[in-house]
Structure 1
Amino acid sequence: MSQESYNRFINSQRGLISSTIRDVLLPAMLGKETNGISYWIGKDIAREYPVASVDDLITLTNQLGFGELSLRKENKNQQLYRLSGPIVSERLGIDHEKVSFDLEAGFLAMETEFQVGAAAEAEIVDRRRASIDIMVQHDPVDKGDSKAEIAQFIRLQGTPDEPERDKGKKRKKKRDK
């Protein structure tokens, strides 16, 4: 590791160990296969932490240290997410074109597969200076022919349960009247 890399990683949002594993060791071990294997690692992470909603997915993405996720567009067969924030802009600053976000793409693909009950794939469709856009596409849901994996969703800490969220919305509506 060079002095430049050390200085950048020791002061990074992710810390020295996480930055070194992600941006030095994985590419060194995987070589040309880094992107493809990272995509499947992302899917495996989603299998460990399946969540039931886009709101939970946004929270979990942040908790995992991937960055700040937002849903930009959605239709019945695809979602466009933007991943941004200090962690993402910092990683993009390393080497804008070489830094891989395939792990995050695989993660979003698998989480979407769990949520919609249909096979899904994701790809990075745009890179900016401080964010990336990931398009997740899935097949139309055909309940009789679904090959999607089934997951038992986890409940995230630091976020209220769905019934509590609903109660909060009702209270807010009452206060607004």
Structure 2
Amino acid sequence: MSQKLYDELINSPQGLVNGTLRDVILPAILGKETDEMLYWIGKDLARQYPVASPAELITLTHQLGLGELTLEKHSPTSQLWRLGGPIVAGRIKKDDEETSFGLECGFLAQEIEFQLGTVVEAKINDRHHDAVNILLENDPQTDSNSERAELATFIHLQTTSADNDQAQSPKAGRHLRKRRSRREKQD
């Protein structure tokens, strides 16, 4: 480990241990397949902690130390999420083009797949100096009765006041109100 990398990680919001594991050890083990393998690891992570709503997804993403998640846009077949905050900005600043967000893409894809009951794929749509935009696309024709879709038993999150502030962003609330009104119409 170089002095520069050590100095960056020891002073970063993610810390030396998490930064070393995520951005040094895993890429060394996974090599050229890092982004793709991290995508599948992210999906496995979501299977361990499935949540029932976008607000809970925002909270869990924050609790896992992946960054600050915000829903920017959504339609019946796609969602655009922004992942930012000090952890993400620090990771991008360290190595802009080489920094993998495959874990986050896989994690979001699987969480939204559980919530929608359809197959979902995710990819980085845009990189900024302090955030990444992640595009999720789903196939509404593939429902939870298909062989590919998985069913989940959702966990119940314990939240702190900081988590509640994060989850109650205006964009998250707008998305939740629309989902609730659709569910009420279906009932």
Scaled by the length of structure 2, what TM-score is found? 0.83
Equivalent residue for 2:182?
Answer: none
Larger radius of gyration: 1
Residue 92 and residue 123 in structure 1: after superposition, are their counterparts in 2 closer, same or farther (change >3 A)? same
3-state DSSP class of the match of 2:106? helix
Where has structure 1 moved over 3 Å in runs of 4 or more?
Answer: 141-145
Q: Which runs of 5+ in 1 are unaligned?
A: 161-177
Q: Which structure's relative contact order is higher, taking Cα pairs within 8 Å and 6+ residues apart?
A: 2
Structure 1 vs Structure 2: percent identity of aligned residues? 55
Equivalent residue for 1:148?
Answer: 149
Equivalent residue for 2:28?
Answer: 28
Q: Distance in 1 between matches of 2:56 and 2:110?
A: 14
3-state DSSP class of the match of 1:83? strand
Residue 122 and residue 12 in structure 1: after superposition, are their counterparts in 2 closer, same or farther (change >3 A)? same
3-state DSSP class of the match of 1:35? helix
Q: Which runs of 5+ in 2 are unaligned?
A: 162-187
RMSD: 1.6
- For the pair 1:158 / 2:159, whether they are aligned, the reply is yes
Provide, for residues 87-142 of structure 1, a one-character-per-residue CA deviation record: whole Å limited to 9, x for no partner.
00000011100000010000000001000001110000100000000001111145
Identify the range of structure 1 (141-150 vs 53-62) with the bigger mean alpha-carbon deviation. Answer: 141-150
3-state DSSP class of the match of 1:32? helix
Q: Is the 8 A contact 2:119 2:143 kept in 1?
A: no
Amino acid in structure 2 at the alignment position of 1:41: I
Residue 3 and residue 148 in structure 1: after superposition, are their counterparts in 2 closer, same or farther (change >3 A)? same
- For the pair 1:104 / 2:94, whether they are aligned, the reply is no
Residue 141 and residue 155 in structure 1: after superposition, are their counterparts in 2 closer, same or farther (change >3 A)? farther
Amino acid in structure 2 at the alignment position of 1:9: L
3-state DSSP class of the match of 1:13? coil
Q: Is the 8 A contact 1:117 1:141 kept in 2?
A: no
Q: When the two structures are aligned, how many residues end up with a matched partner? A: 161
Aligned pairs (5 A) from 1:1-177: 1-143=1-143, 145-146=145-146, 147-158=148-159
Q: Is the 8 A contact 2:118 2:138 kept in 1?
A: yes
Q: Is the 8 A contact 2:82 2:134 kept in 1?
A: yes
